[in-house]
Amino acid sequence: MSLDAWLDNLNVPQRKAVTAPLGNALILAGAGSGKTRVLVSRIAWLVRHHNISPHAILAVTFTNKAAGEMRERLTEMLESPAQGLWVGTFHGLCHRLLRRHFQEANLPEQFHILDSDDQLRMIKRVISALNLDTEQWPAKQAQAFINNKKDEGLRAAHVHVMSYGPGRTLLQIYSAYEQACQTAGAIDFAEILLRTHEMLRQNEALLAHYQKRFNMILVDEFQDTNTIQYAWIRLLSGGGASVMAVGDDDQSIYGWRGAKVENIERFSRDFKNTQTIRLEQNYRSTATILNAANALIANNKNRMGKELWTAGSEGEKIALYKAFNELEEARFISDEITKALKQGKPADEMAILYRSNAQSRVLEEALLRAGTPYRIHGGVRYFERAEVKDTLAYLRLLSNTGDDTAFERIINLPTRGIGGKTLDEMRSIARANDTSLWEAMTQCIESKHFTARAANALCNFRDLISELKGSVANLNLEEQVKIVINESGLHAHFSKNKDDKGMARIENLQELVSAARQFRFDYDGMDDEEMPVLLSFLGHAALESGDTQASEEESSVNLMTLHAAKGLEFSRVFVVGMEDGLFPSRRSIEEPSRLEEERRLCYVGMTRAKEQLVLTYAEVRRQYGREEYHRPSRFLAEIPGEHLQAVRGSVRSHSHAPATSFNSQHESGFTLGQAVSHVKFGPGIVLDIEGTGAHARIQVNFAQSGTKWLVIAYANLSSVESV
DNA sequence: CCCAAGGTATTTTTT
DNA sequence: ATACCTTGGG
Q: Quote the pLDDT of residue A306.
A: 93
**Residues A631, A637, A640: CA angle, nearest 5 degrees:** 155
Please name the nucleotide lying closest to A420, CA to C1': B1
Q: Quote the pLDDT of residue A653.
A: 37
Q: Closest Cα to residue A686, out of A677, A694, A702, A674?
A: A674
A270 burial level (CB within 10 Å; 0-12, 13-18, 19+):
middle
Q: Spell out which residues of A between 105 and 134 contact strand C, using CB within 7 Å.
A: 124, 134
Cis peptide before A414 (omega within 30 of 0): yes
> Is residue A487 over pLDDT 80?
yes
Confidence grade of residue A551 (pLDDT, cut at 50, 70, 90): low
| Residue A609: C-alpha distances to residues A253, A284, A292, A468 (Å) | 18, 8, 12, 53
Confidence grade of residue A258 (pLDDT, cut at 50, 70, 90): very high
For residues A335 and A321, give the distance between their C-alpha atoms in angstroms, rounded to a whole number.
Answer: 13
Active site residue A612: no
Longest CA span, chain A:
94
H-type alpha helices, A249-385 = 262-270, 287-297, 326-342, 360-370
Please name the nucleotide lying closest to A359, CA to C1': B11
Identify which has the larger pLDDT, A336 or A680: A336
Sign of CA dihedral A489, A491, A495, A500: positive
Confidence grade of residue A530 (pLDDT, cut at 50, 70, 90): low
Identify which has the larger pLDDT, A703 or A511: A511
- Percentage of chain A exceeding pLDDT 70: 94
Contacts 24+ apart (CB under 8 A), A260-263: A260/A225, A260/A226, A260/A227, A260/A230, A261/A223, A263/A222, A263/A223, A263/A225, A263/A230
Choose the weakest-confidence range: A310-324, A465-479, A518-532, A576-590: A518-532
Q: Give pLDDT tens digits for A192-242.
A: 999 999 999 999 999 999 999 999 999 999 999 999 999 999 999 999 999
Choose the weakest-confidence range: A101-110, A540-549, A555-564: A540-549
Q: What are phi and psi of A245, to 5 degrees?
A: -105, 130
Helix, strand, coil share (%) of chain A residues, nearest 5:
50, 15, 30
3-class state of residue A29 by DSSP: strand
Choose the weakest-confidence range: A291-295, A398-402, A530-534, A545-549: A545-549
3-class state of residue A373 by DSSP: coil
Q: Which of A118, A188, A191, A220 is catalytic?
A: A220
Identify which has the larger pLDDT, A472 or A545: A472
> Is residue A66 over pLDDT 90?
yes
| Residue A718: C-alpha distances to residues A181, A624, A685 (Å) | 69, 38, 11
SS (H, E, C) A230-278: HHHHHHHCCCCCEEEEEECHHHCCCHHHCECCHHHHHHHHHCCCCEEEE
Choose the weakest-confidence range: A165-174, A215-224, A541-550: A541-550
> Is residue A529 over pLDDT 90?
no
Confidence grade of residue A360 (pLDDT, cut at 50, 70, 90): very high
Q: Quote the pLDDT of residue A702.
A: 87
> Is residue A448 over pLDDT 50?
yes
For residues A427 and A526, give the distance between their C-alpha atoms in angstroms, rounded to a whole number.
Answer: 39
Q: Quote the pLDDT of residue A656.
A: 39
Confidence grade of residue A163 (pLDDT, cut at 50, 70, 90): low
Q: Quote the pLDDT of residue A660.
A: 33
Q: Closest Cα to residue A98, out of A178, A169, A219, A192?
A: A192
> Is residue A548 over pLDDT 60?
no
Is the CB of residue A161 less than 8 Å from the CB of residue A171?
Answer: yes
Q: Quote the pLDDT of residue A435.
A: 86
Choose the weakest-confidence range: A277-291, A358-372, A490-504: A490-504
End-to-end CA distance of chain A: 48
3-class state of residue A473 by DSSP: coil
Helices (H) and strands (E) in chain A, counts: 28, 21
Q: What are phi and psi of A223, to 5 degrees?
A: -65, -15
Active site residue A35: yes
Q: Which of A15, A35, A149, A409 is catalytic?
A: A35
Q: Closest Cα to residue A576, out of A293, A339, A330, A295?
A: A330
Q: Quote the pLDDT of residue A658.
A: 38
Q: What are phi and psi of A576, to 5 degrees?
A: -105, 165
Q: What is the mean pLDDT of chain A?
A: 89
Q: Which nucleotides of C are covered by protein (CB under 7 A)?
A: 1-2, 6-7
Q: Which of A15, A99, A278, A608 is catalytic?
A: A608
**Residues A491, A497, A500: CA angle, nearest 5 degrees:** 105
| Residue A16: C-alpha distances to residues A9, A63, A165, A220, A222 (Å) | 13, 26, 54, 17, 19
> Is residue A318 over pLDDT 90?
yes
Confidence grade of residue A652 (pLDDT, cut at 50, 70, 90): very low
SS (H, E, C) A587-632: HHHCCHHHHHHHHHHHHHHHCCEEEEEEEEEEEEEEECCEEEECCE
The spacing between the Cα labelled CA in A319 and the C1' in C4, in angstroms, equals 38
Q: Give pLDDT tens digits for A12-40.
A: 999 999 999 999 999 999 999 999 999 99
In this complex, the answer to whether residue A254 has its CB under 7 A from any atom of chain B, a nucleic strand, is: yes
The spacing between the Cα labelled CA in A620 and the C1' in B15, in angstroms, equals 37
SS (H, E, C) A400-417: CCCCHHHHHHHCCCCCCC
Average pLDDT over residues A119-140: 86
> Is residue A331 over pLDDT 50?
yes
Beta strand ranges found along A36-193 (DSSP E): 57-61, 86-89, 112-114, 186-188
Active site residue A251: yes
The secondary structure element, H or E, covering residue A699 is strand A697-702
In this complex, the answer to whether residue A65 has its CB under 7 A from any atom of chain B, a nucleic strand, is: yes
Q: Quote the pLDDT of residue A721.
A: 62
> Is residue A301 over pLDDT 70?
yes
Q: Quote the pLDDT of residue A455.
A: 84
For residues A511 and A211, give the distance between their C-alpha atoms in angstroms, rounded to a whole number.
Answer: 41
In this complex, the answer to whether residue A625 has its CB under 7 A from any atom of chain C, a nucleic strand, is: yes
Beta strand ranges found along A99-199 (DSSP E): 112-114, 186-188
Please name the nucleotide lying closest to A567, CA to C1': B14
Q: Which of A221, A596, A638, A642 is catalytic?
A: A221
